[in-house]
Chain A
């Protein structure tokens, strides 16, 4: 799909809006992970030495939730900037088309207008490069969020193992591990969907 075609543009804005909307969901999931980590810390503190192995895991999960929220905020910011830049690119493309249409109707060539058109072509090419770079950047950020989610799932597995030696607190800690696992899986699904949307734009 080309984002310079009219249909492509409409689709681009719809897709970008969908990505931003989906990521808002990720931010909420990340909040849940942070809350789960806080609960786990409280449970682990009460469990004392039986849950000693659980504490660094909760620290990690807490950190991951915080980083995910920051990444989502950055993706949203970058997506908004990209929409603005794509609009600017569209305006440049439109200006160039109108300028070229006018130039083709000239009775005699105008060096001044040729120069204006050349500048427009160069500015438009630069704008397109910027958009392509922004798309790639968004893809990388989404990959990072995905990596975090994968690490969280691994941590939830480890947390389950640690929970088995926590005695009376096993059920509570397993519940925390489940919450983190489900949240990470949900993030992974959303990120996959967002990446697919952006890949189609590319």
Chain B
């Protein structure tokens, strides 16, 4: 599992991904860890198949017992089906996840970890040196969905927004935005169901000062590429509307 430190200050952000031992038929995922003075926060810890690789990767950044908080942006298996294993590993931890999915996520096994349901409007989480924000991202793509914003590191962990389908071993950061678009387009058109939800999220996120946008699949965006992404996403027709347009085009052809 590749480990990349994406922010180093009083606290640290790490990205994990590009697992070379990953089974070929499962999608590659990015996991994130914030370490702040002996307190660790694991974001979208990944699927059950990722756990064995994640354990040593996380242990190389912090003591496993330091993990006090976990976060699941939504309910998908590649996000959090490892919950049952983390439940054994850090039973003292709290899981922050959309309130909507509590009864569903517990199917993955959650006997020890305390589930903290994030209300629809979002909430904050205080680490020793930073107050993290859970930013609503409902219907992007899940009906109960949050992202995490760090105003000091200026990192937005953006879940499936900004995700790209990449071949194994792709670099961690976008290097050529224009070339990257084709790797994101299908994913966003199909997975994101609502233009209205998309535009509401873009308006919300444009208010934030973002240096790095960190999705759960594919490459991370930094600097001007964040704005480029928001502009591109704003112009993109997604979801049902995109399907309708496709059908209209096919009928006219």
A residues with a Cβ closer than 8 A to B are: 91, 95, 98-99, 101-103, 105-108, 110, 112-113, 116, 119-120
**A-B CB pair tally, cutoff 8 Å:** 48
Give bound CA distance, A116 to B56, whole Å: 14
Cβ contact within 8 Å between B56 and A106: yes
User: Interface with A: B10-18, B47-55, B161-169, B230-238, which one?
Assistant: B47-55
Let me know if A98 and B51 touch, CB within 8 A. yes
Q: Interface 1/0s, chain B 49-86, versus A by CB < 8 A?
A: 00111111001100111000000000000000000110
Q: Is the interface of B mostly helix, strand, loop or mixed?
A: helix
The verdict on A102 contacting B52 (CB below 8 Å), with A112-B63, A112-B64 known, is: yes
How many residues of B sit at the interface, in one of the four size bands? Answer: 10 to 19
Partner of B51, one of A102, A107, A112, A119: A102
Contacting pair B60 A107 (CB below 8 A): yes
A-side binding surface: helix, strand, loop or mixed? helix
Which of chain B's residues have a CB closer than 8 A to the CB of A95? 84-85, 88
A113's partner among B48, B64, B84 (CB-CB below 8 A) is B64
Contacts A99-B88, A105-B56 aside, 10 further interface pairs with beta carbons under 8 A come to: A98-B48, A98-B51, A99-B55, A99-B85, A101-B52, A102-B51, A102-B53, A102-B54, A113-B64, A116-B88
In the complex, B109 has a CB within 8 A of chain A: yes
Minimum distance in angstroms from A101 CB to a CB of chain B: 4
B113 CB to closest chain A CB, in angstroms?
Answer: 13
